[in-house]
Amino acid sequence: MELRDDTRPLTARSVVASTLLGVRPPVLPARSLVASAGLFGIAEGTVRTALSRMVAAGELTADDGRYALAGPFLSRRERQDESRAGLTAPWSGDWELAVVEGERRSAADRAALRAAMRALRLAELREGVWLRPANLDPGRLPEARAVTDAQCIGLVGRPDVDPVARLWDLEGWAATALRLAESLTGHEPQLQESDELAAGFLLSAAVLRHLQADPLLPAELLPVDWPGPRLRSAYEVYDATFKASWTSHLRPGV
């Protein structure tokens, strides 16, 4: 399921995207998407209007009443899956750096670069200098990598001083991860009531959003008892149970 900002109300578009991001393959009939949005009081007509607009924008494809993710949402699913898996490679001590080249760039280019860097889990040390430990697959997220390659020079090096504390709020991330893990283990997503399913949907989204903020650092740079593995393990158990209840709710349209 897609991550969202809790300060914004759910829209038909966000529920449709989240619903499709949460199924494999990411294809559902319109009536299932209407049922999912209905958990949040979103009217059928509003959902169908959103579907039409998303198809026109290249975010979905439509075939005989069934809708599938397309375009940027497929890239988002790849990032979500990477975050959920949390896979890293052995770390040699090297860091990957990306330094913005000096030519003037448009506001759109700058925004695209920041989004790509976030997706690749690089953090900004100062204006135009991004880095992270080189412990992730260098071929990950090729679309995001293409954006950074077009605007930056890539380097590999080793900083003289450990910059982790300047780049990431590990204490804050860990505190939220522990709270979410407790919520997952204390939640009962198998209940069939609509309000319970809606709460489960939002909890799932909150966890996936938080996992995308995990910098996936090498163990050597993490605090003792880092809660990333605990959160991922709790989510896998929770998700299997929640999906069974959620699918039952959508069954008339699946």
What mean pLDDT do residues 218-236 have? 96
Question: pLDDT confidence of 189, banded at 50, 70, 90?
Answer: low
What mean pLDDT do residues 119-134 have? 96
List all residues 6 or more positions away from 30 whose beta carbon is below 8 Å from its beta carbon.
47, 48, 51, 65, 66, 67, 253
pLDDT score, position 8:
57
pLDDT of 194 over the 80 cut: no
Are the folds of 12-77 and 94-157 the same?
no
Question: Are the C-beta atoms of 199 and 188 separated by less than 8 Å?
Answer: no
pTM greater than 0.85: yes
Q: What is the largest CA-CA distance in the chain?
A: 60
What mean pLDDT do residues 110-118 have? 95
Percentage of the chain exceeding pLDDT 90: 72
Q: What is the architecture of the domain spanning 12-77?
A: Orthogonal Bundle (1.10)
pLDDT of 193 over the 80 cut: no
pLDDT of 4 over the 50 cut: no
Alpha helices by DSSP H, the chain: 12-21, 30-38, 44-56, 72-85, 107-120, 142-151, 164-167, 170-186, 194-212, 228-250
User: What ranges do the domains of the chain cover?
Assistant: 12-77, 94-157, 168-253
Q: Can you tell me the distance from the alpha carbon of 88 to that of 137, in angstroms, rounded to the nearest whole number?
A: 7
- One of 2.50.20, 1.10.3470, 1.20.120, 3.30.70 is the CATH number of 94-157, namely 3.30.70
Q: Can you tell me the distance from the alpha carbon of 149 to that of 202, in angstroms, rounded to the nearest whole number?
A: 35
pLDDT score, position 62:
96
